Amino acid sequence: MKSRRLVHHALYALAVLLAVGICAAAIALLWIDRRVTWDAAHVSARNITGVLSGDISRTVHLYDLSLQGVIERLGEPGMERVERATQHRFLFDRSSTAEYLGAIVVVDKDGNIRYHSGSLDPPAVNFADRDFFQVHRDADDIGLYVSRPYHSRMRGGDESIAISRRLSNPDGSFAGIVGGSLRLAYFRDRFAALSIGERDEIAIFRNDGVVLLRNPYSLSDLGSDIGMSLDFQQFLIRREGSFVGVLSPDGVNRLYTFATIEGTPLILDVAMDVDEVMAPWMRRALLVVPVTGALFLSVVALIVLFRREMSQRQVIEARLEAQAQTDGLTGMPNRRAFDEALAREWLDARRERAPLSLLFLDADHFKRYNDRYGHQEGDELLKVLALVLKQKARRPRDLAARYGGEEFVVLLPDTSGQRAEAVAEGIRQAIAGLRVPHEDNGAGIVTVSIGVATAIPLAEDMEASLVEAADAALYQAKEAGRNRVAVAGE
């Protein structure tokens, strides 16, 4: 029984481990899959920023080299004495030209154009109100400057940015600027050529947070400022990397991956909508979670059903075990239960050196009672005798049992011979006091004879000896005339 119980516990433990293992495996799989999906988005964003930033860096660097070349030539001795056409060729012969690059201009300290790469006669345009002029006028350490987006005055309002450097007099005072324009269409066309999600964004902005262009394009983004955003400030500290946040006016939560464009004050970012990035993972999760839940619930259901089945089986086994140790007629413990109790109490008494007493009881002339009154009445009489014995054997360890036929036994642990004899006499008197008629018995009523034996078991003694002694005492009581108590050894 104990080994079976251990097997049941082991099966429960294995089933629980299986259920937990299923859930743990599913969670680990989803976590790894989510990590892979997230890492793939990072790699994709870094690849895009790497390609774009390299292209933009080369374009701006070439344009800047043209500006620096113009500044060097302006400083050549005798430049002012050369005729206008020669000056123009000398200043702008190495200037970069491309579809998106505008004219290079030399602007004096008042903001008026002195030289124009596209014309010997510069247009009468003043740039004193532009930020790319004012920033160099007010500070001499700016270096390469990229302006805020503006609508070009010389190209019919085309959206552009200016790339400029300061001109200084020999004494360091402000002498004007050299600048060129770059059409925002340059960024727009390169961004549009990339395949991105519907709510993904690519943006380029200055390191102070001024947005130059954002794709998808919106006129409201032109020159907008995100410089006060805590997420943007975080980027400025780290200079590269990524974070999740909201920088766009649409309020979409995105994964922003930043890259500084080398040699420029520009920053490029690729922003991927977090929901779109994780959508494939979510679809897989929506498949894995229900399947895992179904498997988990199936295992739990099997555990519950198995446990219920085992509980019912244990109840049935306990009932059968009780029936196997119970006399069907009287409801008392039977011979088997008595033998087990005697063996157990015998060992305890031997270990504790305590007395163990046994009463052996027999209904006087029971066969005659059956012959006169019938077996049904005989069975009722046995039930009455059993009820009396149960009332007299009241202590927790006392045991009254049917030994067989009309014979009963009462086992009295830790009970002296004198006390056992008193208990036996009380039983005899109680049964006689019932005055159940028995015309074929000497007293005319039902009586019993009882044999009493007591022992303090020794190592070499066997419990059968106590039964034999009590049985012998019962025989003495019958030989002495019945309806009496006899004590073994007297």
For the annotated catalytic residues, the residue numbers are 406
Q: Are 102 and 152 in contact (CB under 8 A)?
A: yes
Q: Are 12 and 307 in contact (CB under 8 A)?
A: yes
Q: How many CB atoms lie within 10 A of CB 192?
A: 13
Instruction: Strand 407-413: give its sheet, edge to edge.
Output: 399-404, 407-413, 356-363, 448-455, 485-487
Alpha-carbon distance 113 to 21, whole Å? 77
Q: Are 388 and 320 in contact (CB under 8 A)?
A: no
Distances (CA, A) of 394 to 3, 290, 325, 337: 34, 60, 19, 17
Alpha-carbon distance 75 to 159, whole Å? 32
Distances (CA, A) of 306 to 12, 115, 315, 418: 9, 95, 14, 54
Three-state DSSP at 335 gives: helix
Alpha-carbon distance 411 to 358, whole Å? 5
The position carrying tokens 């006390």 is: 419
All residues at 6 or more sequence positions from 335 whose CB lies less than 8 Å from its CB, including other chains: 401, 402, 403, 404
DSSP character string of 215-284: ES--GGGTT-B-TT-HHHHHHHHHSSEEEEE--STT---EEEEEEE-TTSSEEEEEEEEHHHHHHHHHHH
Q: How many CA atoms lie within 13 A of 169 on its CB side?
A: 7
Alpha-carbon distance 382 to 369, whole Å? 11
Instruction: Determine the residue type at 93.
Output: D
Q: Are 423 and 485 in contact (CB under 8 A)?
A: no
All residues at 6 or more sequence positions from 291 whose CB lies less than 8 Å from its CB, including other chains: none
For residue 216, cis peptide bond before it (omega within 30 degrees of 0): yes
Distances (CA, A) of 322 to 54, 332, 406: 89, 11, 22
Query: Which pairing describes strands 448-455 and 485-487: parallel, antiparallel, or unpaired?
Result: parallel
